Structure 1
Amino acid sequence: MLNGYFGCRFFGFETSTSPTYSVVGLFTLVFTYFSPHHSLLFPPLWFASPMPSPHPGELSSQPSTPTLSLLHSPSSGRLYRESWHGSETPYSVDGSRLSTLTDKFSLAPDPRLWGSDLSTDLIEADDAIHNPDVEAEKLDDKRNLSFSRRGLANLGSSPLLNSILAEQDVSIGYPVISYLRRRKSGDSPFNIGGVNSTSQVPSIGNFGLIDFDTPKDVYTKASYKNGSPLKLVFSDEFNTDGRSFYPGDDPYWEAVDLHYWVAVATNNLEWYDPAAVTTEDGSLVITFSQTSTHGLNYQGGLISSWNKFCFTGGMIEASVQLPGINNVVGMWPAIWTMGNLGRAGYGATLEGMWPYTYDSCDVGTAPNQTLNGLPYAATIDGDRSYNDALSVLPGQRLSRCTCDGESHPGPKHSDGTYVGRAAPEIDMFEAQVTGHPKRGQVSQSAQFAPFNRAWIWQNTTENMIVPNPSVSQQNTFIGSATQQATSVVTDTSQLCYEQDAACYSVYAFEVSISFFSIQLIFWFVNVILATGYDDAYISWVSENQTSWTMNAAGVGPDPTVEISARPIPQEPMYMIVNLGMSKNFGTIDFEHLTFPNHLRVDYIRVYQPPDAINIGCNPKDFPTEDYINQYISAYTNPNLTTWRGDFGQPFPKNSFLESC
């Protein structure tokens, strides 16, 4: 975690706050007593009676899977909250004081005898919690939740209850926290898993973070790297045929309608069109066809979960059938992730953001990675297309050097400087066909900026771990003037292509980042510092086996170009799936390519450590919502290709380059 930040968990969510944070709100935090993972749990706002829950949106004490609807949360049984006593409430006070558990949880067959007003016109005291259509301003407590000392002590001394709640932190915690944090729907065009600001609602009925069709036996999974248990926090099995991914049609995915224009990086030959993306026979299908679209000769597809679903740390896994055939060059399929502050295909949002991951104030934040022509090492041994310059990046837009009061999404360090923010990229895979004879491979990479001298990272045997060198080797591409890549290429199963045996292969990557945790025992606070950047890592998986691992020390400081360590990305990352074609990715064999080609994805699943659940695109320690809303035009208009030119916005002042 960044220096000076403490992380804690509400319902398993990683959040953070500055060290100036006082423990005024201590009574709103409860430590899971004697929990081996130091998990923080949300206090007991309500309890549902142990009745079977026939609807996925209802709370139940029966063993269940985390499929709670994000759009509707009707309660099951009788609710209880201590703050209602002595106030007007539709619930019978006497009815909440039954003498035995049997009496307390027994209900007569006739609902009129339950002691509650069952009128459909009744406005209950808890409607603001359970009805997501109620504006936050109508909450009596204005979102400030408080709890009695006795209630906290009771929860802290109940390991059984804490264990039950810990198992439900995704199904219950995510909708609750999302509701309490959200703004009114009109303030932003997107809401996580719900309707957008134009009131479009997906036609599919499965709004939960975990797909109903996900097998129960994969709700937990062992880490590929170290075997530690991971918990399922998101899944999409794509089993409903005919899904549409046009804007507003799906709660988590949206297909873009644009040309992936970035000439220096991709220069794609196709137009990405939502018509090219659907679901069929239990898989997501992206079709690449020789179809004239917007003046281009080809049509492909790209979908992403930008600003809808993000995750910080953990593992993303997919089962994939690659397009075409294993010995013909041309198709460019990929599954990858990017920080939510940059939107793929929307160039203005990426200028000065991609592929940075940096939290230091030095020449690494400067344009071209130099100041007054120095350091000299950044002017040689670089990209021959740019007169041997190491970098032609415009500088980190939202750096730690940002002057106080300039536009920045925050937060701040304890010394008052901003946390360096960016839009880093981690690729699950980019598939390619190469070699003699030709064979299928996947490139599994992370992109970094600023750059090492000549883009040579510290790829020692301790920092670049390749379990099977016979099928995995370091990529010969290590960087250009626009990116530095830590990358390994691995041979694929040569059968799992649509024109071969049409089988599916499992790919994944796992990210472990550093963080603080706060342990609360009764009224004492004990801050536990986790390991630093050097113990963070990214580990990639191909064909259900670990293909390689990079440790954070590999992108440590480089004194030759006067830059500091680049952290393993800690931004909230969203998911991207695309099928395109570009000469920049390799020579295209037009003679032997046939059309159409299809990328098929059987499922995508996201896992996280049970004690480090951190999902959402606007986490407290790396917020994005306010900044995106402030500059929403750049995030919704792909014709704005540059921040300063087309969009007409300045870069914030940088204290390393100029006086504040």
Structure 2
Amino acid sequence: MRNLTKEYSYSSTSNSSDPYIDDDEDEHSSQRSSSSLTPSFIRNNPPMGSANGIQNRATNPFLASNETMESTSGSSSVNYQNEHSTDSELLRGEQEKLYHVEEEKQQQMVSDYQGYYSKHNINDNSNNNDNNKSNSIRLISGKLPSDTSLDQLISAAPIFDRYPLIGPRAIMKAQNMNGSTSKNGISTGTTSLSMDSSNNNLFQGEDDFSPFGGYPANVFPLSLDEKEDDDLLHNPDYEEEARLDRRRFLEDIKHMSIRSFGGFVGILFLFLAGVAVFVILPALTFTGAVDHESEKPKDDIQVSLVERPLSQYKYPQLSAIRTTLVDADTPSSASTKIAKDGSKWKLVFSDEFNAEGRTFYDGDDQFWTAPDIHYDATKDLEWYSPDAVTTKNGTAKLKMDAFENHNLYYRSGMLQSWNKLCFTQGSLEISANLPNYGRVSGLWPGMWTMGNLGRPGYLASTEGVWPYSYESCDAGITPNQSSPDGISYLPGQKLSSCTCDGEDHPNPGVGRGAPEIDIIEAEADTTLGVGVASQSLQIAPFDIWYIPDYDYIEVYNFTTTTMNTYCGGPFQQAISAVSTLNTSWYEFGPEGGKFQKYGMEYLNDNDDGYIRWFVGDNPTFTLYADALHPNGNIGWRRISKEPMSIIMNLGISNNWAYIDWQYIFFPVTMSIDYVRLYQPSDAISLTCDPEDYPTYDYIEAHKYAYTDANLTSWKQAGYTFPKNNLTGNCRSTNF
């Protein structure tokens, strides 16, 4: 078989010497004895008048008889320019075997192509030597011309051969070479083809005559008016692509098939139907817009404007407005409760919080108010906001989140029934789910009660009344209890029983105050990894070292409840016990989310009075009235006879417990399932202004102190402490 080669020569006679063939021989070897049947590329054309100037035409077996190649040497030549030296480096990396031969100043390239065309003589001219030289294509050594010469360059391309013979890898660019190499017995001498890099022509492409390759780059096979379906795939129009990309949605709709259009309409229908069913219909149903008033014929056509409806809508009554104190959702099984003495106490008030979306801004609710204050009394880190309190899923939600407001970084909620709902004696029961994890310290959830003469969070209102529960007129009503040892920092009892005649007092002759009874203040025991409930009575004046008479305190289960080692401080005495809590009664945890009820039951009789605290149905401990007997220079402290308001809050403060910040996962929520209040049938009192312990007139007379949380003292509110006959050198006829 014969290698297809290209012969590069500097003269018309260089092509007549040695033909090069490979080692294989076939039936056409006799035809190859005197000439090479490959086209030659001659650098200089012979004179037109010479015998060798006759141009022979190479034929292609796939061409028709009338598809002949151009006969003139000028039109059949392909002009090459010199490339940079990097071109030769790229060509050397080709996998085909190329041999450079120079003999008598000519360079030939030999391809190892052994395909179909290597076995057939494609030259129909019998003159294998002389005429073969004239069949070569001239290699122009000078620079390519411009302007009109460019037309000559384009016209010099051969007629498009639909079946080209030689691929692009058989054409090798000339390069500067020094020395000689040999391969397969063919030697090349030291030859330098001088090529100017300035001859580069951007319009001159690489010829491709391979039947398996593409078309010559400089001779595109199609005319401008000849189009094929895949032209845009191989030769994209970027401007058209950009235009179509901007209008791709409209184009997709425009060229959408019937099946695609049906699917699009179906999806659109489902979307609109979903909006109608899950958005529009619930909105119309909830607002009552679809419940039109039935048209009733009227006998009298002259209907007054008062009777004529302004609208067909029916506006529902506010869900918080009730006509009874007992919530209609309270089960009948909770209508009574067995007291400590075995008697049945009656359910007199309940709130199940089942109405969805209740709000507790001032004036929104019958029984509760969510104040908008900072609780500075305990140096809390949160701001209590009405936004943080609502009802959802049958519970009241008090949510604390890391929300910056009022120059504080946390926001939480508090509910208080101050001056709306109060009780004197009874059993208060609250079911709650405590926030966060039971084993994590830092939060301060609380459920507690306080006398109505002090409003929680309003320091001016609580000065001199919290946590006094005192009827005597002795050192206990004086500032610091007249003790220089620092046992008390209190300013003294403002509304003592011995207030002088004509002084400011709600009911002279009666010692008044605002004691505090805590149903629960929750914390965590980080050693045991469980929650802890502190249940306490906070009173003033104080026992020596804040120690009551423990002989009159009863603890029911020492495995879960012990007396608190903290007994009080300069601002209050706390008779407190702590009980462990199950971690499932908290918001988070493996078994979290369960509710537990906490409560307290008390009677305020001076002799038989007591306070008993509960976790669930089990009592934790009981404080009897005798535990508060006189001690030192102070007299009896009484179990509260004041009307007590109810407070529920979720706080956070460094004054309460160590704050384990990394394990408090804000937002956290304390959920209240219900509040239920029971009282003896013969001692029902739910007013905040009872006759024997009135509060209404006194609060109205000092409203500034009860409505401005920024006031921190009674004097700052513009009022003064009333005088008493112990220190005021005045007379009290009511004592």
TM-score norm. by structure 1 comes to 0.62
Say which of 547, 553, 557 aligns to 2:626: 553
| Counterpart for residue 217 of structure 1 | 333
Q: What pairs with 1:563-642 in structure 2 (closer than 5 Å)?
A: 563-642=634-713
Equivalent residues of 1:493, 1:505 under 8 A apart: no
Q: Which moved more, 1:267-276 or 1:608-617?
A: 608-617
Q: Structure 2: which 5+ runs fail to align?
A: 1-305, 307-316, 731-735
1:202 Cα deviation from its structure 2 partner: 5.4
User: Percent same amino acid among aligned pairs?
Assistant: 46
Partner SS state of residue 411, structure 2: strand
Is 1:379 paired with 2:457? no
Is 1:434 paired with 2:504? no
Equivalent residues of 2:441, 2:526 under 8 A apart: no
Equivalent residues of 2:402, 2:411 under 8 A apart: yes
Partner SS state of residue 286, structure 1: strand
Equivalent residues of 1:203, 1:249 under 8 A apart: no
| Counterpart for residue 237 of structure 1 | 352
Amino acid corresponding to residue 650 of structure 1 in structure 2 = T
Determine the C-alpha separation between the residues in 1 that align with 2:528 and 2:678. 37
Amino acid corresponding to residue 607 of structure 1 in structure 2 = Y
Q: How many residues align?
A: 415
| Counterpart for residue 568 of structure 2 | 479
Equivalent residues of 1:329, 1:588 under 8 A apart: yes
Q: What pairs with 1:381-420 in structure 2 (closer than 5 Å)?
A: 389-410=486-507, 412=508, 418-420=509-511
| Counterpart for residue 587 of structure 2 | 498
Equivalent residues of 1:206, 1:212 under 8 A apart: no
| Counterpart for residue 100 of structure 1 | none
Equivalent residues of 2:463, 2:491 under 8 A apart: yes
Partner SS state of residue 540, structure 1: strand
| Counterpart for residue 204 of structure 1 | 320
Q: Deviations over 1:223-274 (max 9, x none)?
A: 2x33320101100000011100011110000000010012xxx110000000
| Counterpart for residue 513 of structure 1 | 604
| Counterpart for residue 81 of structure 2 | none
| Counterpart for residue 48 of structure 1 | none
1:203 Cα deviation from its structure 2 partner: 5.0
| Counterpart for residue 310 of structure 1 | 422
| Counterpart for residue 436 of structure 2 | 324
| Counterpart for residue 368 of structure 2 | 253
Determine the C-alpha separation between the residues in 1 that align with 2:567 and 2:607. 21
Determine the C-alpha separation between the residues in 1 that align with 2:323 and 2:566. 41
Partner SS state of residue 447, structure 2: strand
Determine the C-alpha separation between the residues in 2 that align with 1:272 and 1:643. 22
Is 1:362 paired with 2:474? yes
Determine the C-alpha separation between the residues in 1 that align with 2:660 and 2:526. 14
Say which of 529, 537, 541 aligns to 2:614: 541
Equivalent residues of 1:571, 1:622 under 8 A apart: yes
1:204 Cα deviation from its structure 2 partner: 2.7
1:208 Cα deviation from its structure 2 partner: 1.9
Equivalent residues of 1:448, 1:566 under 8 A apart: yes
Determine the C-alpha separation between the residues in 2 that align with 1:215 and 1:656. 53
Determine the C-alpha separation between the residues in 1 that align with 2:682 and 2:526. 43
Equivalent residues of 2:395, 2:672 under 8 A apart: yes
Q: Measured at CA, do residues 202 and 420 of structure 1 come closer, stay the same or move farther in structure 2, by a change above 3 Å? A: farther
Determine the C-alpha separation between the residues in 1 that align with 2:431 and 2:342. 20
Say which of 455, 459, 466 aligns to 2:555: 466
Determine the C-alpha separation between the residues in 2 that align with 1:210 and 1:217. 13
Determine the C-alpha separation between the residues in 2 that align with 1:335 and 1:241. 22
Equivalent residues of 1:272, 1:302 under 8 A apart: yes
Determine the C-alpha separation between the residues in 2 that align with 1:446 and 1:435. 25
Partner SS state of residue 348, structure 1: helix
Say which of 403, 428, 434 aligns to 1:291: 403
Determine the C-alpha separation between the residues in 2 that align with 1:331 and 1:425. 20
Determine the C-alpha separation between the residues in 1 that align with 2:528 and 2:683. 45
Amino acid corresponding to residue 484 of structure 2 in structure 1 = T
Amino acid corresponding to residue 280 of structure 1 in structure 2 = K
Determine the C-alpha separation between the residues in 1 that align with 2:689 and 2:464. 20
Amino acid corresponding to residue 643 of structure 2 in structure 1 = P
Q: Structure 1: which 5+ runs fail to align?
A: 1-120, 122-200, 371-377, 381-388, 413-417, 515-532
Determine the C-alpha separation between the residues in 2 that align with 1:252 and 1:315. 18
Partner SS state of residue 495, structure 1: helix
TM-score norm. by structure 2 comes to 0.55
Equivalent residues of 2:503, 2:722 under 8 A apart: yes
Equivalent residues of 2:533, 2:581 under 8 A apart: yes
| Counterpart for residue 341 of structure 1 | 453
Determine the C-alpha separation between the residues in 2 that align with 1:227 and 1:273. 42
Q: Deviations over 1:110-159 (max 9, x none)?
A: xxxxxxxxxxx9xxxxxxxxxxxxxxxxxxxxxxxxxxxxxxxxxxxxxx
Determine the C-alpha separation between the residues in 2 that align with 1:205 and 1:425. 29
| Counterpart for residue 174 of structure 2 | none
Determine the C-alpha separation between the residues in 2 that align with 1:541 and 1:616. 25
1:329 Cα deviation from its structure 2 partner: 0.6
Determine the C-alpha separation between the residues in 2 that align with 1:649 and 1:205. 36
Equivalent residues of 1:492, 1:543 under 8 A apart: no
1:216 Cα deviation from its structure 2 partner: 1.4
